[in-house]
Amino acid sequence: MDDAAPETLRRESHQEDDIAPEPPEHASGRPLLTAVPEPEPERESDAESRSSSASEPEPKPLPDDIFVPERPKRELLTLDKPEPPARPATTGRDEMMPREEDTLDIAGSPRSSLRDAGLDVPKMHQLVRRGEDAVWTFGVRASSALTWWLEIRQVAEATGWMPVLLGPPEDWRDGGEAIVHEGDDELARSAGIDAAELLHDKAAEAGEPARGVPILPRRGDSDFATPQRDVLLGLIETDAGWKIPARFPWAGSTNWELYGAEHAAILRRWHRLYEVELVAMTYDVLELYVPHPPDAEAALGVAHEAYAYCPDLLDSGVPTLEDLAEHMIRSKAWYFRWT
């Protein structure tokens, strides 16, 4: 068998498109990533009351809303500990729950490691294997896809398994041949790539972006596009999410001559600067969670890097580099699509 070629392995269960139930409560007691609403503007009466108290510090003003590409607005992500999820009462067997025979683990599955960390996930199957590396998956509903990603990512240091949303199952029917390309050791090749130099060269190749005063509405963004539909959630055994596009060389941007090693080098750079995490890797989309977006002073420089990485951004509804920069000041969801 060719170690570099992806293949689909035969599942031990015929329930290929089983969908996971809502994520279980986390038993470890560690702080979890969770979704919380954006803060509401402070009322004048609250501000006056607080200013009258000498023991409390002055509140910091909230940043102005800023522009983002037109996608439905959802919630900001923080590191606050979540409230235990509400469990609706059920009668009989719910079709969303795993069948009794699905309680057995397949050899090599991440389930036992996740169970030891306090997460009970449904039976998985191998979606793609590349040499000794495999992608294990299970289906998740749109309503809980991001929550599953958050829960599994929070315990990744203990389990050794990183999550990534992979898009709809039909995109992977061919064993991922349209998404994961053949290649040499992309991860090792990424170690020799200077990401800053690569982005400088790609910026020159992309040409000068449109410039000018921002003209689009200014609002905050915390939305991810991929988990707005039922998708596959993949688990890959690695110690860093930025390595995933190199471990399974991603083909979504080959028209821009970026391959697995290039993606890993750039995501490693952004992870070091802003703790960027890979959330989704679909047919032609990468989505990143950015816990600490750049400040206003750095935003234009980061927008230049984002444009060099994905020039299609300014061809898909973002008219100027300044519009993109304003988005990147506060957005915790960076969206890239190569067309």
- Distance between CA 64 and CA 62 in Å, rounded? 7
pLDDT in the model for residue 77: 41
What residues contact residue 54 under an 8 Å CB cut-off, 6+ apart?
none
Mean pLDDT by 10 residues, the chain (339 residues): 45 50 57 46 49 48 43 38 41 40 67 93 90 92 94 95 95 85 87 97 94 67 84 97 95 93 97 96 94 90 95 81 85 89
pLDDT in the model for residue 246: 95
Flag whether the pTM goes above 0.95: no
- Distance between CA 86 and CA 82 in Å, rounded? 11
Tokens of 52: 């009258």
Three-state SS string over the chain comes to CCCCCCECCCCCCCCCCCECCCCCCCCCCCCCCEEECCCCCCCHHHHHHHHCCCCCCCCCCCCCCCCCCCCCCCCEEECCCCCCCCCCCCCCCCCCCCCHHHHCCCCCCCHHHHHHCCCCCCCCEEEEEECCEEEEEEEECCCCHHHHHHHHHHCHHHHCEEEEEEECHHHHCCCCCCCECCCCCHHHHHCCCCHHHHHHHHHHHHCCCCCCCCCCCCCCCCCCCHHHCCEEEEEEECCCHHHHHHHCCECCCHHHCCCHHHHHHHHHHHHHHHCCEEEEECCCEEEEECCCCCCHHHHHHHHHHHHHHCHHHHHCCCCCHHHHHHHHHHCCEEEEECC
| Number of alpha carbons in the 13 Å side-chain half-sphere of residue 210 | 15
pLDDT in the model for residue 130: 86
pLDDT in the model for residue 323: 86
Strand partners, 136: 126, 235
Tokens 């979704």 identify what position?
Answer: 35
pLDDT in the model for residue 303: 93
Tokens of 275: 């703790």
For 78, list phi and psi in degrees, rounded to 5.
-135, 180
pLDDT in the model for residue 123: 87
